[in-house]
Structure 1
Amino acid sequence: MGESETICPFPASLRKLDVFEEPSMKSMALLSNLTSLTTLRLSGCSNLTVDGFNPLIAANLIQLLVHGCNTLAADMLSEVASQRVKLLPAGYISRLEVLFTDDICGLLVAPICNLLAPALHTLEFMEDERMESLTEEQEKALQLLTSLQKLSFLYCVALQSLPQGLHRLSSLKELCVFDCQKIRSMPKEGLPVSLRKLLMNPRSTEIDEQIEKIKRTNPDLSVEE
């Protein structure tokens, strides 16, 4: 793309941007003037890297979807976390409420989860084909998300277990686990008492039995397939 990479093709007042399957897009510098964005969706931009990313893009961001862009979501949020004192407005607090990504490993690190803790209420992991289980550090990072109300794992085909610390997510109201066929049991410590809705499909006999036990201690829990 050469020199055109430094040209910003979108108006600075833009509030929502969807970029879908655009392999020619290689630098986040193309979006560097978009500091009014509230919604950013980047999907299938396999050559796009964090190069040229302006952390101010995140200043007003409420919804972020990054899918099929390698480690871009984690790279962007790491940059925001590390540069917030230097480059973002004084007293900046992340306003991000909704995040969709296919990179469980990249996202569940303490600096990113600390950054997202104030406002993030919906976190969806979809089509992460690498993650098998969470490490202790990733478990601790997940527990930093104290505003989280909805957590989803969709088509995470390698995932063999749900986070063992789920019961500590005291704001969680909804858990969705869809087509993660290697998950054969629920976390040993169960689910948070705050949970009101569980959507899980498919479910093993063992999982069904464990859910029945959980429902006895949490009668308000609605279970769907």
Structure 2
Amino acid sequence: MTQQTGPDQQPRVGTALRQGIELRHLRYLVAVADAGTITHAARRMFVTQPTLSQQIRRLEELVGAPLLHRRRTGVRFTAAGRVLLEESRAVLSMLEHGVTRSRQVAGLGRPRLRFVLPPNLPEGLVVRTASRLRSTADAAGVDVEWLEAPLDAEFTPIRQRRADAGLGWLMCSPDALPDPLEVVSVGEFEPEVWIPATAGNADRRTISVDELADMDVVHHHAVPVQPPTTPG
């Protein structure tokens, strides 16, 4: 038997989603993406693994589509899951920004800049940049939160809204960067010597004199390099 559904009986998907999806569902989804496994994400969120798995399944029911491929080695996001993950990061970032602004209006806090400093940058460059940024931020009444984390060519921590800006090497044209990233030059830096990344012993990060003698290297007095840039 089939039954026709009148206009007043149409399923209200939007209403159901608004009533069913909670911020904790979005936080759980982001935690799974950052941790790589449900087990590790559960530890970070201080919940049990079965509880987190149940909440992710509930979120999938509300969306109406699978969000994750569960494997022994971890999880992989489906196409639908990647879209919801990106939007979840945006929602949580906007909420955090709104709370911060509300506290500022109430006189309870100052603006905060989350700044990424990759661990593999030259120490001199990091010290100079951090010092200048700290002085500028203090003058503007802004707090800086330093994040020591890798910063890839796609500036993933910034695109995923885990950071606001960072210091790194620009390996492509500024026009090739996706929105809303912007690039600002902070000066020039010339390393003492460039050698191929595959050279030497990868485990010890060493290279023998014999290997170096047979290798093409670039000395900093001979060839200038592209300046570092700050996306934000």
Q: Given the two structures, how large is their TM-score scaled by the length of structure 1?
A: 0.28
> Which of the two has greater helix per residue?
2
Q: Over alpha carbons, which structure has the higher Rg? A: 2
> Which of the two has greater strand per residue?
1
